[in-house]
Amino acid sequence: MNATRVSAAVVVVLTSIATAFAASEPPAGATSCSGCHPANAGVQSPVPPLAGKNAEEIVAQMQAFRTGQRPATVMDRIAKGFSDAEVQAIAAWYAQRH
């Protein structure tokens, strides 16, 4: 009985450790960005990487794209597909990455 309880406790601990390895789901839309914004170094592209960028800066640029204040070839039309809250969540997620 005691042994069962101990092994059950071990399983609980192991399960929580294992769950800790799993990355939480990224905010809606976030994972699509790396189709164009390089996730790794050494890629030949004029498009800037997003990981590690200041979240407020990403939010400001997305707003500028959406209003047309910043000229764009494609980001104007993509920015219009996201709400303020969604942009903030994506920006915070990228700001934490490196």
Contact residues toward another protein (CB under 8 A) are 10, 14, 17-19, 21-23, 25-26, 28-29, 31-40, 42-47, 73-74, 77-78, 80-82, 86
* Least Cβ distance, residue 57 to another protein (angstroms): 20
* Least Cβ distance, residue 2 to another protein (angstroms): 19
In sequence order, what are the residues at sequence separation of 6 or more whose Cβ sits closer than 8 angstroms to the Cβ of residue 74?
Answer: 36
Dihedral angle of Cα 59, 34, 73, 55, to the nearest 10 degrees: 10
Give the number of other CB atoms < 10 A from CB of residue 56.
Answer: 12
* Least Cβ distance, residue 42 to another protein (angstroms): 8
